[in-house]
Structure 1
Amino acid sequence: MVSKLRYNLAKIAGKAAIHAVKLGSGAGMSFPGSLFLKIGGQEALKSLSDEVDIGSILITGTNGKTTTTTLLIKLLSKDLDIRRSYESNTISAIATGLLKGDGDIGIFEYGIRDIKHGIPDTIQRLVNPIGVVYTTISREHSQVAGIKNPFDQYLKAKTLLSQEMGEGVIITNADDPRTANIGLNKSNDIKVNYYGVASDKILDIFEDEIVECPNCGTSLEYSHRFMNHRGEYKCPDCGLERPKLNVYLKDIEFGDKWTLDIVGNLFNYSVNKDISFNVKITVPPFGLHNVYNTLASITAYATFTPTPEKIESTIGEIFNNLDMSFIPPGRFEVVDVNGKKVGLGQGDNGDAAKINALFMNQYIEGPLEFIYTTPDVNEEEIFEDHLKSIRALDPAHLIVVPGRESVEIAEKYYNQIKDEFNSDFYPLSYENMPERIDKLCELATNSDYDYVIMTGCGEEQAMWENIKQKLIK
């Protein structure tokens, strides 16, 4: 336990640092919190967290964290003053968000790749969240600080963020057996609100792959797949199956705009009782992955709003006025380049690459060129996952470019697939990133094809957003 004097000194220094730096949503969110923790120690974060009247919500997962956090902030800001951080997945960013302002509730994105660096159990203990939101869990970068991180350890790290919660609510994706199992294992301790899809209009385009039961390791049996490993499933051995949905997509109409019919019946933490709602919203054609991000944010909002009577009107106000600017920098987007449809953005893991392929697929009406940016050394599993997306889109021409540092491993990946496709390799240097970016822009702009997708690994925001802005201009 930190002394009151040391805590107050740390808090004064942290708040002073907020005024001394120009805060952004990324690295700028770390310094004041880092200074606070340096002076007060990690235990000071517990005292700081206790000052938030209602408590804090943590959002985690492999994909969709930032978008879900952004949407949840838009929704809850209609009802409450908020302390927040997103696009910066560190303990320092959480501390900065808590220091900044006097909000009634905290909303913090928290990405975790391993237990040692992500310290999820420590974060859970210190922040003592009233809510943990899970988006989806799939294989992330295989390396953390140069060490290969097995998937079971990655899944365990995510689980630890809510494992010791004694009160509050877990909001989790029921269509993902991994996140659903986290909720099922806690359902006897605390409330769990599940969200998912209940419309047969959504169907995966990829070849079925084996998904192991997170409970016993047996191959799951799917009656319907919505997207990648998300769907309606049951384990033939232990009986694990998709739990009953508290919030679900009842229907969807596609077109220039998408209409989503969403039904909810869930536990509201603020009023301590079950509530119901039904909304129809009109949104941009933002891809099936953002349907899940929408469901996650709406479920979290309906769980924690202190004014449940406003749920339907607030959801309508936010989503009916939504445009594509809500997508974080560097994320996948389809832009018009000299009459070509070019889809580009980060796809650093297999799930993200499949999501991007599904998004692009709705635009493709002719031969496609795939510009693929590869993973790095010891990321062969990510390459194998990426290859499924390439094969699913069956490009007329494939271009392979290093996405990370090693040109040698990129060429090795290329040699494994070059005979399967009409393909070329460009050994672009990581050290000369401006040259790499210019060449990728040139390849897209001068493509012989009307449909181009550029995705894979890279600098998560800087490279992709730079390419996107250059192509738009």
Structure 2
Amino acid sequence: MKKGLKYSLMKTVGYLSYNLLKILPTGGKSYPGYLFLRYAGLDSLGNLAKEQIKDGSILITGTNGKTTTTTMIIDLMSNDVNISKSVDNNTIYALTTALLAKKSDIGIFEYGIRDLKHGIPDVVEKNIKPKVVVYTNVSREHTQVLGVKNSFEDYVKAKTLLSKNMKDGIVVANADDPIICNIGQEKQNDGHVVYYGFNVDNIEDDTDVSVMCPKCNKPLTYSHKYMNQRGVYSCSCGFKRCEPDVKITKYSIENNKNIITIDANVYNYFVDENISFTLDLELPLFGVHNVYNVLAATSTYACFTPKPENIEEKLKNYFNNIDLSILPPGRFEVLEYADKLVGIGQGDNGDALKVNYDYMNHFIQGNDYEFIYCTPDVNKEEIFEDHLNILKKINPTHITVIPGRVSVDVAKTYYTQIKDNNLNASFKSIEYDFEKRASGIIDSINESEYKYVVVSGCGEEHDVWNVTLNKLKE
């Protein structure tokens, strides 16, 4: 079959399969894209993107915050233009399915990259030709993919490749994250970079985590830390944090709300000049990490909306009316259960575990509490090391260690290391079964003598957390 005919046929088949499968609970997010790429070929993705997207695409990547940031960008952009979207299913197949579904002005695609081989970021960039690549943050996670262990350096390289060869585009970069800031600096000579970050003194994270310079691999010096590796930093080699273009200049917590001011001076792709604005917002009390997501979404919208007029009003109307439903399933949630206040949600890297605790700490306020810690699996030592550093820093009154992934034996090994660090801990062995894990977590909550209980760590993506939450809410 001739290449052009095969392409047209598979485009039609993909479109029809999408419309047939979208009634399923999963919405047929991946299979139509898989069919198209399997039979039309990966090199057909470029033609598909060119035919289906008029003005260009936005790709959102990072370790944490991708789904929330993508959702916010979709909500904002969809009021201005017709969009194609892929969110919370961040594979090349889901992206391709979104392209097959319809023609649109702008594509907005969450894209997760765990390694070079499976994430193929350079291939995605070459074919999609994004106009904007958004980086949330980078921390140690996903060092093992399909049984193969990869270095953190390879993980960072894979993220970098998503924008490395992009020409005449915009990188939206977290200035407070050293690795992301470095990605931005390396793009400044062949495109625009919009940096976002904090510029306040009343947020301070005293977690003692050594962060290495992405240029020379020496320890960075921080004059201020906002959250984990994010802050104001410099290195003796000359590398330092860039001044944010979109920044938080005021931050406070009042009446269970985040009260913030954002000052922005941002290059807009469509008007080809900078636009400036100031926002005074009242956000849900959903943690500093989600305030970063608000900054990322604001930066992206400001630089790529074709309708920047009245931008302050549009951003205020949106953000002043969002609530906790903006957060995707499996994310940290606080609820009353029996006579306890329970904070529960996925924290499968040090960054996520810390922000979960920080959020719950608004309620704990110095009282004794239980931490039910769900361990990572085999060959996830780097993630456990990051988790252990957090646990040592926060020093819970008591820790119950539960296997979070497949191996019970490695969970026992992690428990031993926790005990060796003089933390008050006990181990609860639960076999690998979603229902039994969920029931075991709830049993541990019931058995705890403490009013405040934090449940976080690793689990099978959203499934264990959703099952457990549903049981708690029954």
Q: What's the TM-score bracket when you normalise by the shorter of the two chains?
A: over 0.9
Cα distance, 1:321 vs. partner? 0.9
1:58 partner SS: strand
Structure 2 CA distance for partners of 1:344 and 1:179, relative to 1, 3 Å? same
Which letter does structure 2 place at the counterpart of 1:457? C
Structure 2 CA distance for partners of 1:421 and 1:24, relative to 1, 3 Å? farther
Q: Is the 8 A contact 1:212 1:218 kept in 2?
A: yes
Partner of 2:325: 325
1:308 partner SS: coil
- Larger mean CA deviation between 463-472 and 52-61 belongs to 463-472
Structure 2 distance, partners of 1:445, 1:23, is 39
Cα distance, 1:304 vs. partner? 0.6
Structure 2 CA distance for partners of 1:232 and 1:162, relative to 1, 3 Å? same
Cα distance, 1:421 vs. partner? 2.5
How large is the RMSD of aligned CA atoms in angstroms? 1.4
Q: Which of 419, 422, 425 is the aligned partner of 2:424?
A: 422
Partner of 1:447: 448
Cα distance, 1:23 vs. partner? 5.5
Taking the TM superposition and a 5 Å limit, the aligned residue runs for 1:128-277 are 128-207=129-208, 209-237=209-237, 239-255=238-254, 256-277=256-277
Partner of 1:103: 104
Unaligned 5+ runs, structure 2: none
Structure 2 distance, partners of 1:58, 1:285, is 27
**2:446 paired with 1:462:** no
Q: Is the 8 A contact 1:55 1:106 kept in 2?
A: yes
Structure 1 distance, partners of 2:30, 2:205, is 39
Q: Deviations over 1:244-279 (max 9, x none)?
A: 211001111202112111111010011111110111
- Larger mean CA deviation between 26-35 and 460-469 belongs to 26-35
Q: Is the 8 A contact 1:9 1:39 kept in 2?
A: no
Cα distance, 1:356 vs. partner? 1.2
Structure 2 distance, partners of 1:6, 1:265, is 47
Q: Is the 8 A contact 2:434 2:463 kept in 1?
A: no
2:248 partner SS: strand
Q: Is the 8 A contact 2:437 2:464 kept in 1?
A: no
Q: Is the 8 A contact 2:265 2:277 kept in 1?
A: yes
**2:69 paired with 1:63:** no
Structure 2 CA distance for partners of 1:55 and 1:165, relative to 1, 3 Å? same
Which letter does structure 2 place at the counterpart of 1:263? D
What percent of counterpart residues are identical? Answer: 48
2:343 partner SS: strand
Which letter does structure 2 place at the counterpart of 1:428? I
2:225 partner SS: strand
Which letter does structure 1 place at the counterpart of 2:139? S
Q: Deviations over 1:187-242 (max 9, x none)?
A: 000000000000111111422x22111011111111000000100011112x1111
Taking the TM superposition and a 5 Å limit, the aligned residue runs for 1:281-292 are 281-292=281-292
Cα distance, 1:422 vs. partner? 2.6
Q: Is the 8 A contact 1:337 1:445 kept in 2?
A: no
2:76 partner SS: helix
Cα distance, 1:390 vs. partner? 1.4
Normalised by the length of structure 1, the TM-score is: 0.97
Q: Is the 8 A contact 2:331 2:345 kept in 1?
A: yes
Structure 1 distance, partners of 2:370, 2:21, is 44
Q: Is the 8 A contact 2:176 2:198 kept in 1?
A: yes
Structure 1 distance, partners of 2:25, 2:281, is 28
Partner of 1:9: 9
Structure 2 distance, partners of 1:156, 1:361, is 35
2:54 partner SS: coil
Partner of 2:300: 300
1:160 partner SS: helix
- Larger mean CA deviation between 393-402 and 222-231 belongs to 393-402
1:328 partner SS: coil
Structure 2 distance, partners of 1:394, 1:426, is 19
Cα distance, 1:24 vs. partner? 7.0
Normalised by the length of structure 2, the TM-score is: 0.96
**2:82 paired with 1:81:** yes
Which letter does structure 1 place at the counterpart of 2:242? P
Q: Deviations over 1:419-462 (max 9, x none)?
A: 523321111111x2211111112222442111111111101111
Structure 2 distance, partners of 1:23, 1:314, is 33
1:261 partner SS: strand
Q: Deviations over 1:296-321 (max 9, x none)?
A: 00100001111111211111111111
Cα distance, 1:332 vs. partner? 1.1
- Paired positions, count: 469
Which letter does structure 1 place at the counterpart of 2:403? P
